[in-house]
Amino acid sequence: MLQPGTYAPDFSVKDHNGNTVSLKDHKGKKIVLWFYPKADTPGCTIEGKGFRDDIQKFTDKGVQIFGVSLDNEADNKAFAEKFSFSYPLLCDVNREISLAYHAVKSIEEQHAARISYVIGVDGKIIESIESVDTKNHSKDLCSRL
């Protein structure tokens, strides 16, 4: 995983609504990147609902949430709509973000690892989270920010 204190790699990908999202466009905000293996699967749904339920607390703290998976726009859009996710799900179909952030080891991998990063307002990684408890991840993370 990328270590705290290092600059977060920039990226530019489409979200589930077809909007281009670039890290550099969110400079000056704290960002949580939570990587998940597959849209609309049990663990990913539990984790995603946690961020959905805590989104106002993150927003109040000035934190932008981005879910990241290798899923395409249609799959992520269906996932976001089914569970009323109000934050962007990034569609890393070319593995750009996942490779840069070590969520996959190679371009051939079919699913991203369940990891998260917190990026500071200065663009540096504050926290790298390799072990995620899907049920409590959002609340635990929000309490530390």
Residues acting as catalytic residues? 44
Task: Please give the single-letter amino acid code of residue 80.
Answer: A
Report whether 92 contacts 98 (CB < 8 A). Answer: yes
Vertex 27, ends 89 and 85: CA angle to 5°? 20
Which of 75, 80, 78 has the alpha carbon at shortest distance from 65?
A: 80
